[in-house]
Every structure is written in C-alpha cells, then in structure tokens.
C-alpha cells in the first residue's frame, strides 16, 4: 500500500466523519443562510437603484434627448416615457408610474412631481431648463439651438486629482466584508477541527493503534488534507451562495467589483492559510492529551488570527490603503485574513497579491517540517503536556 | 519458519531504565506468554516490537530482517491503553483499520463480518463504539487486532476485562491463529491462563528476561522437587543424597529440591531420596512436585541472588 493510498484513507475518514457531523452541517447551513439573507436585506435596503422615469407629452417631447444627454454627463440614468397630454402626465405622477413629468411649453416647461424632487433630479432639470432658455436666446440671435445642445452635451469636465482617494463602491465594500468574515470564520473553525481531531485521537489512545500501522506524518497530513477539503468545500459553498445571491438580485450591477478574481483569490488564500494554521495547531495540539487543554495550548495561534482580522475588518473597508492594513496584508499568517479583503476592495495590484502569496507560501515547507517533527515526537506521549523544546529536539 | 525476534532491547525514560538488553524470540505457530510485574517492561517491549516506540539500542526482526513499515502493517496489535474512535461505528471503524493495514475494501468487509461474528458482536456493527458496554468495547478492540488477518500478533493484556465466555473464545482464536503459523506474543497477569494457553512463557523483571521456556522447562530449571510425607528433615536424611537441599518443611511434609547439576537421571535421584527417607522412618507419601506457574513466577522474580540483572535498582515506570 502506497503512502498516497494511506493519505487517501485517512483523509477519507476525516471527510466522511465531518460530513456526518451535525455541527458541521448546521454551521454550513447557517453561513449560507446568512449570506443569502444578508443579500436580500441589502437589496431591500438599497431599494431598486433603477433609473428615475420621466414622462414627456407631445409638446415636451423635444426635451427627451437633451435630458438623456444631461443624465449621461452627470452619471445618472433616466428613462423617458411618452404620454398623451399634460393631464395624463399628471395622472402618471399621481399614480407613481413615473417620478416626474415635463408639462407645458418646451421652452418654459414645468416639472410635475408628487412631493419633491431629489437633489440629482433637481440639478438635471435645472440644467435642462437653462438649456431651454439658452436655446431661445440662440434662436433669437439666429443660431441653431440643436448645434449648441450637441456642443454642450459633448463638453466633459476634466478633473485631475493630485492625491486621489482609492475608488471603491458599495459592492466592493460588501464583498470586502464578506471575504474578511468568511475567511476568518472558515480558517478558525477548520483549523480548530484539526486540533480537536489530533487531541481526540490522543485522548482516546486510538493514535497508538493507528501508528502501529502508519507513520505519524501520514496521519497528520491525511487529517489536514481531509479537513482542508471539507473546509474548502464549505468556503466554495458559502462564497458561491454569496456570489449567486448578489448576481441574482443584481446587487453588483453598478459595482466595479471583479467577482471572479475575488472568489478565485479567496479560495487560494483559504487553502494557503489553512495549511499554515492547521499545521501550527496540529503541532501544538499534539503536545497535550486532554480536550480541555487544547484551548490553552492553541490560544497564541488563535490570537494571531483574531488580531489581523479585527484590524483588517475595522479599517480596510474605509481606508484600504491604511499603512497597518497594507503591512498586514504582506505578513505571513496575517496575509490570508487581510489580503482577500483588499482584493475584494479592488485596491491592490495583482503583482502585490502574488508577492504576498509567495512570501507566505515560502514559509509553508518550514512550517510543515517543524509541525511534522513536533507532532511525530509528541503525539504518542500521553500524560503531562510535552514542552515544545522537547518535541522539537532531535532524537 | 520466520521468527519474531526482540534482540538486546534497551530503553530509558529519563533516568528510568525500562528495558536493559532484553531479548525474546517468538517462533511462527508459537504462543508466548509474557509475564512480569507492573512496570517490569512488558508494555515497553511490545510497543517497540510493533514500532510505535523506538528502542535506544537493540533491534526487532522478522524473518531475520529489521521490521519496516511493510512488516509492521502485518502485525495485529492490541495496545495496553485501549483506544478506538468513540463516535465511529463499530463496522466502519474495523473496516477502516483493516484498510489501513492494507486490506482491500471487500477483504475488509468480509473480515469485519467474520471477526465480529466470532467475537459475538455482529449485531452491534452499526452502533457507535461509545454506546457499547466496556466488555463489548474490549471485544471490538480484539477484533481490531485480528481484522487485518495479521501475520504476527502482539497483544498487551488481551484478556483483561473479558468475561469467561469471551476468554474461552479468545483462547480458541489465539490457538487457531498460532496453528495457522502466526507467532503470538501476549502479556497477562492471569497466570493460570498463560499456563494453560502458552507454548512458552517469558518472565521479565526490571527490564531483563529472567526466565524463558516451556512450563516444563521452567519447572525443571532450578532442579526437580520432591515432596515427602514422612520423617522430619531434622533427622538429616535429605543431606545423605548428593545435591539435595530442603526448601520447605512443615510438620511431616518436606519439600526437597534436587539440584539440576547432579548429572544423574532424575528418577535415580528420586529413588535415592526415597531410600534415604525410608531409612530414617516411615514414609506415607512420596512424589514429584509440579509447581504452578504462579510459584515458578514468584521464584523467578524474587530470586535476586543469581538471576537479577547487573546494576541498578528495580524501577517503577509506566512500562
């Protein structure tokens, strides 16, 4: 039997055990429900960000195109519909079929609204009214108002920012939160599954039976692999549900979020973070023999997870270029928790992500080697807690 | 026929010398009972034999070669500290262990059915281990050692915690495995059981073997003993036979040991002894003494004058 076959057996047992576990199924179900529910709540809160609709009568019909041009220039969207006459226009406003109606003479039109205009609409209609006035003057002076309107519409404002604030929209901020929270929860729960599994085998002494047949590294690697597969499927499921909800409800229509890249990197960072954290926790857990001692021995690593997460989640969405956030996104162990947020926020270059990933990945061989050594030396020593130094010592 | 050999094993835990150059051979088809007081080194030796512990010095061999992973996978092991996944079902658990030992899926399935049947827990295969009584958990543990159809059996206290029926079943299984050519090494404190079941007995004390051999060997090792119901030894008759010494005397009963090194046929010495006793007075009964393993064991471990290992006091370790 090959080492690979052994790994497959050990990993297979972990997977089938976790899949049967009610706690795991519940957590996954709740996470999926949370992201789907969160998406729906967000959708309701934003309301439909659809374009404002404006009714025009046959008399005000010539204003339709200039209005669309103005809307495009000011980054708003307007839908124009035609109605029979002023009375019909007012009725449409009354029944909230449209947000506003342009009635009366095109050169001196009236905006009919139900209660008031929004600030954006008010600005648009003001420009429209000024253009109409300008048109009359141009006509009086013997010019062509249409040519003037075209000229106006093509005039664009150039803004040059000396210190531009990073651009991010609501969709990116929401994705940043989801990425941060999901990775933290997934890494924390799966890495703890590994440490509990290690101590379960140690405290029930089944480890002695297993290690009379397979090598310690095979047991540890198989466990990490199996729980990793489970954790990754959990992340795929939850992230997939989040993405599906966002796309289905059109939450990201107006966002410049790069969903594919964000998802892909989130999975990659989970895998890398999982290998790092689970090796560390497996090694530490192998030092103790009772479930109640696991928390104490793994606390340093768990704190190592909580700190960057809290800093990241409370600063990054509002200030993605904050120095602490940027630094943490490169520091191994912190990077898997912080970098995915920055990626979702769209404020980081691909080469920067790759550099950070490589930095963390470079640490993996050393970490796995040390973890394997500690685990192999400590896992059969039941009783009092084994000191790290003892476990690392060459035998 | 391949042999399982433990050769010159040394193991220390800090200052504690658990094993001091201990050696033992178990041949194919042979059941060897491993006895010794708590902390004498039985468990340490067995853990080294199955490869979960490394010896400081010495070697474990199978068929003349050091044991590697492919061999240790063929060992059925029952650890002193019982251990199974408590929340895993009996059938899944045994199947998993059989697969880890290199059995195929169908082989494992068949073996699980067979061994749970033999040990009388076949209707519990779908229950979680933790839901079983301790006695039944013990039977599952035995199944775990047997389920991969091992070539070698190393069992640490396989009989402790078993009811008499299970003891009989287990004894039968061990004999049957041995008859199929498997070397069986098991430790036990139940000396009557060891005496009944084992081809050979190995007595360990303070990390060294103090006696190894068949019960018969052990009985004659220190010399034969005769019990005389007749004249008191104070009359001097035992001394008239060369190599004889009185080891016990109460009322009219005298136990005389004939030294192993007299060179004469045992029956001749016996006849000479009887004649000497008759010459001293009337003899009501005369016969050889067949000490039980319990007594042989007591002799072996209490005899510190000539067989104790050199150096060091006896140490109590978590063997």
Say how many Å lie between the first and final Cα of chain B, rounded: 30
The Cα–Cα gap between A198 and B109 comes to: 27
Answer yes or no: do B83 and A205 touch at CB < 8 A.
Answer: yes
Q: Tens of pLDDT along B50-101?
A: 988 889 999 999 998 998 888 888 999 999 888 899 989 999 999 999 999 9
Q: A206: nearest CA in chain B?
A: B83
Q: Which of A208-212, A326-330, B121-125, B250-254 is predicted least confidently? A: B250-254
Q: B78: nearest CA in chain A?
A: A209
Q: Is B77 on the interface with A (CB under 8 A)?
A: yes
Mean pLDDT across B194-208: 91
Q: Tens of pLDDT along A164-212?
A: 666 677 788 888 888 899 899 999 989 989 999 999 998 888 999 999 8
Top mean-pLDDT range of A351-365, A369-383, B242-256: A351-365
Q: Is B11 on the interface with A (CB under 8 A)?
A: no
Q: A2: nearest CA in chain B?
A: B102
Q: What is the pLDDT of residue B313?
A: 39
Mean pLDDT across B34-47: 91
Q: Is A211 on the interface with B (CB under 8 A)?
A: yes
The Cα–Cα gap between A139 and A132 comes to: 11
Across chain B, mean pLDDT equals 85
Q: Give this prediction's pTM.
A: 0.76
The Cα–Cα gap between B118 and B112 comes to: 10
Contact between residue A335 and residue A329 where contact means Cβ atoms under 8 Å apart: yes
- Residue A42 makes CB contacts below 8 A (sequence gap 6+) with A174, A251
Q: What is the pLDDT of residue B252?
A: 83
Q: Tens of pLDDT along B109-163?
A: 999 999 999 999 999 999 999 999 988 999 999 999 999 999 999 999 999 888 8
Residues in chain A, total: 395
Q: What is the pLDDT of residue B317?
A: 39
Q: Helix, strand, or coil here: B263?
A: coil
Measure CB to CB from residue B69 to each of A9, A215, A382 and give the nearest one. Answer: A215
Task: Please report, rounded to a whole number, the percentage of residues in chain B having pLDDT higher than 70.
Answer: 92
Distances (CA, A) of A93 to A47, A88, A96, B7: 19, 9, 5, 100
Measure CB to CB from residue A209 to each of B54, B73, B77 and give the nearest one. Answer: B77
The complex scores an ipTM of 0.79
* pLDDT at B243 > cutoff 50: yes
Q: Tens of pLDDT along A57-75?
A: 988 888 888 888 888 777 7
Answer yes or no: do B144 and A209 touch at CB < 8 A.
Answer: yes
Query: In whole angstroms, what separates CA A34 from the centre of its chain?
Result: 14
Q: How confident is the model at residue B11 (pLDDT cuts 50, 70, 90)?
A: very high
Q: Which residues of chain A neighbour B84 with C-beta distances below 8 Å? A: 204, 206, 209
Q: Helix, strand, or coil here: B223?
A: coil
Q: Is A72 on the interface with B (CB under 8 A)?
A: no
Q: How confident is the model at residue B260 (pLDDT cuts 50, 70, 90)?
A: low
Q: What is the pLDDT of residue B222?
A: 64
Q: What is the pLDDT of residue B312?
A: 36
Across chain A, mean pLDDT equals 87
The two tokens of residue B112 are 């699980």
A279–chain B nearest CA distance, Å: 22
Contact between residue B76 and residue B148 where contact means Cβ atoms under 8 Å apart: yes
Mean pLDDT across A146-169: 75
A382–chain B nearest CA distance, Å: 10
Q: What is the pLDDT of residue A394?
A: 59
Q: What is the pLDDT of residue B319?
A: 40
* pLDDT at B262 > cutoff 80: no
A251–chain B nearest CA distance, Å: 44
> What are the φ/ψ torsions at residue B12 (nearest 5 degrees)?
-120, 145
Q: Which residues of chain B neighbour A395 with C-beta distances below 8 Å? A: 54
Q: Which residues of chain B neighbour A206 with C-beta distances below 8 Å? A: 83-85
Mutate to test the interface with A, among B4, B13, B52, B142 (most CBs of A within 10 A): B52
Q: What is the pLDDT of residue B306?
A: 45
Q: What is the pLDDT of residue B288?
A: 82
Q: Which of A214-228, A346-360, A376-390, B115-129 is predicted least confidently? A: A376-390
Contact between residue A328 and residue A302 where contact means Cβ atoms under 8 Å apart: no
* pLDDT at B314 > cutoff 70: no
Residue that the structure tokens 């956030």 belong to: A325
Indicate the DSSP class of residue B166.
H
The Cα–Cα gap between B73 and A218 comes to: 14
Mean pLDDT across A338-350: 89
Q: B156: nearest CA in chain A?
A: A209
Q: Quote the radius of gyration of chain B (alpha carbons, Å).
A: 23
Q: Tens of pLDDT along A4-60?
A: 889 999 999 999 988 888 888 898 899 899 989 988 887 887 665 556 888 899 888
Contact between residue A68 and residue A78 where contact means Cβ atoms under 8 Å apart: yes
Q: Is B69 on the interface with A (CB under 8 A)?
A: yes
Residue that the structure tokens 């130094």 belong to: A389
B274 or A355: which leads in pLDDT = A355
Answer yes or no: do B86 and A204 touch at CB < 8 A.
Answer: yes
The two tokens of residue A308 are 């960057």
Answer yes or no: do A205 and B51 touch at CB < 8 A.
Answer: no
Mutate to test the interface with B, among A13, A208, A387 (most CBs of B within 10 A): A208
Q: Quote the radius of gyration of chain A (alpha carbons, Å).
A: 30
- Residue A324 makes CB contacts below 8 A (sequence gap 6+) with A311, A315
Q: Which of B31-40, B53-62, B181-190, B290-299 is predicted least confidently? A: B290-299
Q: What is the pLDDT of residue A33?
A: 93
Q: Is A15 on the interface with B (CB under 8 A)?
A: no
CA quadruple B265, B266, B267, B269: dihedral positive or negative? positive
B166–chain A nearest CA distance, Å: 22
Q: What is the pLDDT of residue B234?
A: 77
Q: What is the pLDDT of residue B303?
A: 61
Q: Which residues of chain B neighbour A199 with C-beta distances below 8 Å? A: none
Residue that the structure tokens 């209707």 belong to: B123
Mean pLDDT across A342-369: 92
A211–chain B nearest CA distance, Å: 6
Query: In whole angstroms, what separates CA B174 from the centre of its chain?
Result: 13
Q: Tens of pLDDT along B204-227?
A: 998 999 888 888 888 777 677 888
Answer yes or no: do B77 and A382 touch at CB < 8 A.
Answer: no
Q: Is A110 on the interface with B (CB under 8 A)?
A: no
Q: Is A23 on the interface with B (CB under 8 A)?
A: no
The Cα–Cα gap between A295 and A291 comes to: 8
DSSP string, B130-182: GGS-HHHHHHHHHHHHHTT--SEEEEESTTTT--HHHHHHHHHHHHHHHHTT-
Q: Which residues of chain A neighbour B52 with C-beta distances below 8 Å? A: 208, 211-212, 380
Measure CB to CB from residue B83 to each of A13, A17, A208 and give the nearest one. Answer: A208
Contact between residue A237 and residue A26 where contact means Cβ atoms under 8 Å apart: no
Q: What is the pLDDT of residue A166?
A: 64
Answer yes or no: do B73 and A213 touch at CB < 8 A.
Answer: yes
* pLDDT at A83 > cutoff 50: yes
CB pairs under 8 A between A and B: 58
Mean pLDDT across A283-288: 92
Q: Tens of pLDDT along A206-256?
A: 999 999 889 899 999 999 999 999 999 999 999 899 889 888 888 777 777
Q: Which residues of chain A neighbour B318 with C-beta distances below 8 Å? A: 383
Mean pLDDT across B255-273: 73
> What are the φ/ψ torsions at residue B247 (nearest 5 degrees)?
-105, -20
Q: B144: nearest CA in chain A?
A: A209
Q: What is the pLDDT of residue A50?
A: 57
């Amino acid at each position: 039997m090959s080492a690979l076959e052994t790994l497959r057996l050990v990993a297979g047992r972990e997977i089938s055990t976790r899949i049967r576990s009610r706690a795991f199924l519940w957590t996954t179900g709740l996470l999926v429900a949370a992201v789907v529910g969160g998406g729906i709540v967000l959708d309701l809160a934003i309301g439909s960000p659809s374009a404002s609709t404006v009714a025009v009568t046959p008399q005000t019909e010539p204003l339709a195109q200039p209005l669309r041009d103005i809307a495009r220039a000011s980054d708003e969207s307007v839908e124009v519909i035609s109605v029979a006459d002023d009375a019909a226009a007012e009725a449409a406003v009354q029944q909230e079929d449209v947000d506003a109606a342009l009635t009366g003479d095109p050169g001196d039109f009236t905006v009919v609204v139900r209660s008031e205009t929004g600030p954006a609409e008010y600005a648009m209609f003001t420009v429209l009214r000024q253009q109409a006035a300008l048109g009359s003057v141009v006509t009086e002076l013997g010019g062509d108002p249409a040519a003037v309107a075209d000229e106006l519409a093509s005039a664009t404002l150039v803004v040059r920012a000396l210190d531009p604030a990073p651009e991010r929209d609501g969709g990116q901020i929401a994705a940043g939160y989801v990425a941060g929270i999901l990775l933290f929860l997934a890494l924390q729960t799966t890495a703890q599954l590994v440490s509990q599994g290690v101590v379960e085998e140690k405290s029930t002494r089944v480890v002695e039976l297993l290690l009379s047949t397979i090598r310690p590294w095979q047991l540890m690697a198989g466990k990490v692999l199996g729980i990793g597969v489970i954790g990754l499927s959990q992340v795929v499921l939850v992230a997939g549900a989040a993405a599906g909800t966002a796309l289905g409800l059109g939450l990201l229509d107006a966002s410049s979020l790069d969903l594919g890249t964000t998802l892909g990197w989130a999975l990659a960072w989970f895998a890398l973070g999982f290998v790092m954290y689970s090796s560390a926790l497996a090694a530490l857990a192998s030092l103790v023999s009772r479930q109640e001692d696991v928390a104490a021995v793994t606390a340093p690593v768990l704190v190592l997870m909580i700190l960057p997460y809290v800093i990241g989640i409370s600063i990054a969405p509002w200030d993605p270029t904050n120095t602490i956030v940027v630094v943490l996104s490169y520091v191994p162990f912190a990077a898997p928790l912080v970098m995915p947020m920055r990626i979702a926020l769209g404020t980081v270059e691909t080469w920067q992500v790759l550099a950070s990933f490589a930095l963390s990945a470079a640490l993996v061989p050393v970490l796995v080697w040390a973890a394997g050594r500690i685990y192999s030396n400590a896992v059969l020593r039941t009783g009092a807690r084994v000191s790290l130094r003892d476990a690392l010592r060459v035998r | 026929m391949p042999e399982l050999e433990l050769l010159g094993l040394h193991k220390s835990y800090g200052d504690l010398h658990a094993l001091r150059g201990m050696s033992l051979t178990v041949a194919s088809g042979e059941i060897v009972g491993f006895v010794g007081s708590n902390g004498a080194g039985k468990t340490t030796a067995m853990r080294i034999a199955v490869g979960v512990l490394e010896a400081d010095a010495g070697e474990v061999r199978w068929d003349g070669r050091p044991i590697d992973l492919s061999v240790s996978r063929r060992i059925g092991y029952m650890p002193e500290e019982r251990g199974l996944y408590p929340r895993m079902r009996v059938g899944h658990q045994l199947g998993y262990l059989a697969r880890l030992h290199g059995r195929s899926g169908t082989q494992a399935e068949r073996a699980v059915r067979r061994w749970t049947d033999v040990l009388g827990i076949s209707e519990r295969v779908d229950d979680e281990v933790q839901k079983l009584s301790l006695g039944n958990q013990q039977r599952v543990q035995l199944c775990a050692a047997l389920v991969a159809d091992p070539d070698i059996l190393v069992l640490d206290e396989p009989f402790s915690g078993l009811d008499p029926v299970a003891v009989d079943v287990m004894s039968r299984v061990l004999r049957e495995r041995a008859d199929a050519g498997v070397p069986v090494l098991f430790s036990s404190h139940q000396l009557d059981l060891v005496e009944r079941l084992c081809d050979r007995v190995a007595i360990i004390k303070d990390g060294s073997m103090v006696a190894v051999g068949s019960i018969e060997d052990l009985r004659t090792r220190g010399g034969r003993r005769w019990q005389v119901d007749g004249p008191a030894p104070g009359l001097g008759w035992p001394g008239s036979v060369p190599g004889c010494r009185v080891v016990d005397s109460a009322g009219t009963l005298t136990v005389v040991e004939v030294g192993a090194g007299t060179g004469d046929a045992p029956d001749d010495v016996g006849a000479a002894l009887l004649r000497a006793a008759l010459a001293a007075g009337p003899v009501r009964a005369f016969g050889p003494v067949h000490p039980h393993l319990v007594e042989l064991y007591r002799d072996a471990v209490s005899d510190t004058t000539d067989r104790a290992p050199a150096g060091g006091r006896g140490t109590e370790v978590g063997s």
